[in-house]
Amino acid sequence: MFDWQWDFTWSILPRLIEATGKTLLAAGGGYLVALVLGLILALAQRTPWKPLTLVVRELVEFIRSTPLLLQVFFIYYVGPQIGLRLSPWTAGLTAIGLHYAAYLSEVYRGGIESIGKGQWEAARAINMSTAATYRRIIIPQALPPSIAGMGNYLVGIFKDTPMLSVIGVGELMHTANTIGAENYRYLEPYTLVGLIFLAISLPAAWLVRRFEAATRRRLGLSK
């Protein structure tokens, strides 16, 4: 390729691999936040109190239809104005976690709504509390059909972590920018970042598809 320098490539590779670890950490951390917040957003839409449902519904729509990049800036810069001094990592994980929580809440909602009414009535008949019904009857059944959607968003969150570089989270993209600025060479760092993303997300997407197929088989949804 054009003016590709292999010795430069080898010299920056260790730094990029180290940053890959941070990218994975950001994706994993953000995903954990999203899993928990998403469940809260999904359950909040199922309370008998209608105004809460409407407000949360609109909040989810709002988060889903505005750019993550803008949300990252909003949380990072507005936080201090209301007395919350957030580190880049905290702000970044909060933003990406909240963004994907909105998507995951839809996955959960779909899963929960797919459970037949009879399950609720049976749980009521044996005098189970609502919390116990969710924990022991509804969520275990709602989870398997949601796995594929959840897996796809895990890959999605991984691919969105470069946006955290704008507030100084030292993940892959940020490291590549720093290397580029130090050496006035962008060809190798940016290309390597692209290759590292491919090397991780292609197998990950393949695993998600296999896992989905396996779950469907186990549930008897397909041969």
Partner 1 sequence: MSSYLEFLSRHADQLVNGTAITLAQFVLSALVAITLAVIAGLLTLAPSRPLKAVATVYIEIFRGTSLLVQLYWIYFVLPLMGLELPKFVAGFVTVGACFGAYGAELVRGAVLSVPKGQWEAALALNMSPAKRMRRIILPQALAIMLPPWGNMMVEILKGTALVALISVADLMFMSRQINGTTYQSAQAFGTALIIYYVFARFLVTPLMRWLERAMARRLGRA
- Quick check: 104 and 35 in contact, CB under 8 A? yes
Closest CA to 23 of 92, 94, 91: 92
**Counting contacts by CB under 8 A, is residue 193 touching partner 1?**
yes
Cα separation, 73 vs 215, in Å, equals: 38
Interface region with partner 1, contact rule CB under 8 A, candidates 14-22, 86-94, 123-131, 201-209: 201-209
Contact letters (x/-) for partner 1, 65-104, by CB under 8 A? xxxxxxx-xx--xx--x-----------------------
Contacts of 161 (CB under 8 A, 6+ apart): 23, 26, 27, 30, 96, 169, 171, 172, 173
Among the listed residues 9, 141, 152, 201, the single contact to partner 1 using CB under 8 A: 201
Tracing tokens 């050496």 back to the chain, one arrives at 183
Report, in Å, the least distance between residue 123 CB and partner 1.
34
CA angle 59, 60, 65 (to 5 degrees): 100
Interface region with partner 1, contact rule CB under 8 A, candidates 24-32, 38-46, 182-190, 211-219: 182-190
What are the structure tokens assigned to 51, written together? Answer: 């105004």
Nearer to partner 1, 10 or 74 (CB): 74
Binding interface with partner 1 (CB under 8 A): 1-3, 61-62, 64-71, 73-74, 77-78, 81, 159-163, 165-166, 173, 176, 180, 186-187, 190-191, 193-194, 197-198, 201-202, 205
